[in-house]
């Protein structure tokens, strides 16, 4: 499991919750070409949005800040406005200077050497023609500012003008009439820069990632309460102190361990970096081959967003045994399959389940390496190839995490740079909403849950005289696979998952769904609704929309003649202290906690004779 990981992408850091304390060395450090003076120590950054290696480091261009990207501008004797580019931390003066290129083509690579053969560079301001040429259509990002942007021009050995070019991994040259990657923003590498490098050296980026709200309680991370000292130091900008506190916390073995007996939601770290929380879910509306359910991503959606990792084997990797898992959707019981490259994911039966391994989340182009995340890989049998569980737009390509109602497909990719890093968050509860004006909801879950205060669960009994008898469950646990009707005041309630509870479901005339279920046209089924006769079970009469959503309770009957509405008839009250049996017909009422109510309003009450009634 990862301990500390250094992050290289400054842009991601600006999106984190601690950004106010992060040294922002670039801000206010820009240099205009006209303000350049000999002896300046500067950093050159190419502002093209399609380049990840944007800092000039000599023979190469790099993504992250370090002393390797600091240049000293040395005046060229006898040539006003010309400078040698000398790397500040070069091993010796013999390899410190950017050399005069042979030509101005993109096959001419930047080389380093002694001052005697160095190129004399002009830091040339952009012309109006340059500005037109390097417009936003040339993929320039928001740091593009004509006043602070220049070209680094040198006369080549063949007497052509050559402009320094960001060639990605390699620094090259190009002519001055073209090449969109030959513009540079220049920044002073002063005290702010040194402060930022210190922040990197003491694991500031990793500290920030552990402090993200999305990382609270995830596998490999910590609970927010345990990070209090780390957070306080980071907020004060004391990164060394924050790092010391984090290392002590790691040594205390308080990092959250993976537990295959738990269920998990899989949250995209790249989505979190973009400011949203989306994750893997089982889709019942976007179907694959043979109308099978698919794996997709969107905002977390309750049980369809919960997954179980079942160990199916081990494999030896670099002398260590690594666990392998099937990944199963809780509602349908279907599995993530063995994946084909760059393909959408249709869920499969166990016999076609993929064999997945959890690895530390890698660097990627979509987001920096994030602490406490994982890559989920499906290897082939001889481990010479793999596909990586990733997220794409609905038709493929890079996801638009922040779009309205953002959603896309779960796919696979072979390149870790195109992958998604996943937070594994243990599922501790499920939310149920009691709608306004109803005080009732239905529920059917694949696991047992503990009811919170104010919520009562009922199972179904017999039906007679257009009424269905409802009886309260004993205790506060709803067993797995037990469809129930809930009563509570309107609002949202978190029901704690009772992992260790194996209570059997009681006798129950209610049926339940785990996935959406369509009622046959010749079948009779009832769903809870607040209709013309108040809240009750209403027969489904729609000839077209006969689908009951996932995780709901309903009632079915084979009776040839069925009532349009079944009213609720509550059985004897259970567990209500202070209520005594009174003569039938008494007008004494109590709430569900046993407290007498003088003027009962809308809701469920218990009469003095023990009968529960619903008052509209």
Q: Report whether pLDDT(158) > 60.
A: yes
Q: Report whether pLDDT(55) > 80.
A: yes
Where residue 340 falls (left for φ over 0; alpha for ψ -120 to 50; beta otherwise) is beta
Q: Closest Cα partner for 507 from 535, 539, 470?
A: 470
Residue 374 · residue 357 · CB < 8 Å: no
Q: Which fold has domain 26-189?
A: Trefoil (Acidic Fibroblast Growth Factor, subunit A) (2.80.10)
Q: Report whether pLDDT(127) > 80.
A: yes
Average pLDDT of the chain, as a whole number:
85
Helices (H) and strands (E) in the chain, counts: 7, 42
DSSP-assigned letters across all residues of 106-146: TTSB--EE-GGGB--EEEEEPPHHHHHHTSGGG-B-TT--G
Tokens coding 376: 């989920």
Task: Phi first, then psi: give them for residue 227, nearest 5 degrees.
Answer: -95, 10
The single residue listed with the structure tokens 């990605």 is 168
The single residue listed with the structure tokens 């209709």 is 531
Q: Report whether pLDDT(138) > 70.
A: no
Run of H or E including 381: none
Task: Phi first, then psi: give them for residue 53, nearest 5 degrees.
Answer: -95, 85
Q: What pTM did the predictor assign?
A: 0.74
Contacts of 561 (CB under 8 A, 6+ apart): none
- Of residues 580 and 52, the one with the higher pLDDT is 52
Tokens coding 402: 């922040």
Highest mean pLDDT among 9-18, 137-146, 369-378: 369-378
User: Using one digit for the tens of pLDDT, what is the confidence trace for 374-387?
Assistant: 888 888 766 767 88
Q: Closest Cα partner for 21 from 245, 228, 237, 211?
A: 237
Binning the chain into helix, strand and coil, the percentages to the nearest 5 are: 15, 35, 50
- What is the structure's pLDDT at 18? 40
| CB neighbour class for 576 (10 Å; exposed up to 12, middle 13-18, buried from 19) | middle
Residue 354 · residue 337 · CB < 8 Å: yes
Q: What is the CA radius of gyration of the chain?
A: 32
- What is the structure's pLDDT at 427? 97
Contacts of 337 (CB under 8 A, 6+ apart): 345, 346, 347, 348, 352, 353, 354
Q: Closest Cα partner for 214 from 16, 497, 446, 483?
A: 16
263-426 and 26-189 share a CATH fold: yes
Residue 153 · residue 163 · CB < 8 Å: yes
User: Using one digit for the tens of pLDDT, what is the confidence trace for 425-462?
Assistant: 999 999 999 998 888 999 999 999 999 999 999 999 99
Angle at 347 between CA 346 and CA 348, to 5 degrees: 120
- What is the structure's pLDDT at 578? 36
Distances (CA, A) of 255 to 31, 134, 138: 44, 48, 45
How many angstroms separate the CA atoms of 599 and 34, rounded?
83
User: Using one digit for the tens of pLDDT, what is the confidence trace for 270-313?
Assistant: 898 888 999 999 999 999 988 999 999 999 999 999 999 999 99
Report the percentage of the chain scoring pLDDT > 90: 57
CATH number of 263-426: 2.80.10.50
Residue 463 · residue 560 · CB < 8 Å: no
Q: Which of 230-244, 361-375, 392-406 has the lowest mean pLDDT?
A: 361-375
User: What does the pLDDT average to over 544-550?
Assistant: 91
Q: Which of 57-71, 431-445, 465-479, 594-608 has the lowest mean pLDDT?
A: 594-608
- Of residues 306 and 25, the one with the higher pLDDT is 306
Distances (CA, A) of 3 to 206, 246, 261, 370: 9, 10, 24, 11
User: Using one digit for the tens of pLDDT, what is the confidence trace for 180-217?
Assistant: 688 899 999 998 899 889 888 888 888 888 998 889 99
Q: Closest Cα partner for 22 from 237, 184, 215?
A: 237
How many angstroms separate the CA atoms of 37 and 485, rounded?
77
- Of residues 597 and 140, the one with the higher pLDDT is 597
Q: Report whether pLDDT(473) > 90.
A: yes
For the chain, which residues make up each domain, given as ranges? 26-189, 263-426, 429-571
């Amino acid at each position: 499991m990862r301990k500390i990981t250094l992050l290289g992408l400054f842009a991601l850091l600006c999106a984190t919750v601690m950004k106010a304390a992060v040294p922002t060395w670039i801000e206010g450090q820009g240099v205009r070409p006209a303000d350049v003076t000999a002896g300046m120590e500067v950093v050159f950054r190419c502002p093209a949005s399609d380049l990840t290696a944007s800092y000039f480091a000599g023979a190469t261009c790099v993504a992250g800040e370090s002393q390797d990207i600091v240049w000293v501008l040395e005046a060229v004797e006898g040539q006003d406005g010309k400078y040698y580019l000398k790397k500040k931390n070069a091993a010796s003066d013999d390899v410190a200077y950017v050399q005069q290129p042979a030509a101005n083509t993109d096959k001419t690579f930047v080389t380093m050497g002694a001052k005697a053969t160095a190129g004399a560079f002009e830091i040339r301001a952009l012309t109006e023609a340059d500005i037109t040429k390097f417009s936003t259509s040339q993929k320039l990002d928001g740091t593009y500012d004509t006043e602070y942007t220049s070209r680094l021009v040198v006369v080549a050995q063949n007497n052509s003008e050559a402009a320094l070019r960001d060639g990605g991994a390699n620094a090259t040259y190009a002519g001055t009439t073209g090449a969109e990657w030959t513009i540079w923003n220049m920044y002073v590498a002063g005290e702010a820069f040194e402060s930022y490098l210190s922040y990197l050296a003491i694991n500031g980026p990793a500290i920030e990632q552990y402090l993200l709200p999305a990382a609270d309680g995830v596998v490999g991370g910590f609970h927010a309460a345990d990070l209090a000292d780390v957070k306080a130091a980071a907020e004060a900008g004391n990164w060394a102190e924050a790092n010391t506190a984090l290392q002590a916390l790691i040594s205390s073995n308080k990092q959250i361990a993976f537990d295959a007996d738990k269920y998990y939601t899989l949250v995209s770290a790249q989505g979190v970096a973009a400011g949203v929380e989306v994750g893997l879910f089982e889709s019942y509306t976007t179907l694959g081959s043979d109308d099978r359910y698919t794996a997709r991503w969107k905002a977390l959606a309750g049980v369809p967003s919960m997954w179980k990792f079942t160990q199916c084997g081990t494999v030896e990797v670099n002398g260590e045994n690594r666990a392998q898992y099937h990944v199963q959707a809780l509602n349908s019981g279907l599995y993530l399959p063995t994946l084909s490259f760059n393909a959408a994911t249709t869920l499969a039966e166990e016999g076609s389940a993929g064999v997945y391994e959890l690895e530390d989340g890698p660097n990627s182009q979509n987001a920096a390496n994030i602490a406490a995340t994982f890559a989920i890989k499906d290897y082939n049998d001889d481990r010479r190839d793999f596909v990586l569980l990733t997220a794409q737009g609905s038709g493929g390509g890079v996801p638009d995490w922040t779009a309205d109602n953002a959603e896309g497909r779960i796919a696979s990719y072979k390149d870790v740079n195109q992958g998604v890093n996943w937070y594994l968050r243990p599922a501790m509860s499920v939310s149920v909403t009691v709608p306004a004006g109803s005080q009732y909801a239905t529920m059917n879950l694949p696991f047992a849950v503990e009811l919170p205060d104010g919520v009562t669960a009922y199972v179904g009994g017999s039906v007679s005289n257009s009424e269905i008898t409802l009886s309260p469950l004993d205790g506060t646990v709803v067993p797995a696979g037990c469809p129930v009707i809930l009563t509570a005041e309107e609002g949202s309630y978190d029901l704690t998952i009772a992992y260790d509870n194996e209570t059997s479901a009681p006798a129950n005339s209610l049926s339940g769904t785990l996935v959406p279920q369509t009622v046959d046209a010749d079948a009779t089924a009832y769903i809870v609704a607040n209709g013309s006769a108040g809240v009750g079970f209403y027969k489904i009469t729609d000839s077209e929309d006969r689908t009951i959503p996932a995780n709901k309770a309903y009632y079915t009957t084979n009776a040839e003649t069925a009532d349009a509405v079944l009213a609720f008839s509550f059985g004897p009250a259970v567990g209500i202290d202070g209520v005594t049996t009174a003569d039938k017909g008494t007008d004494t009422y109590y709430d569900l906690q046993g407290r007498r109510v003088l003027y009962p309003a809308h809701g469920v009450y218990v009469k003095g004779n023990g009968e529960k009634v619903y008052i509209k």
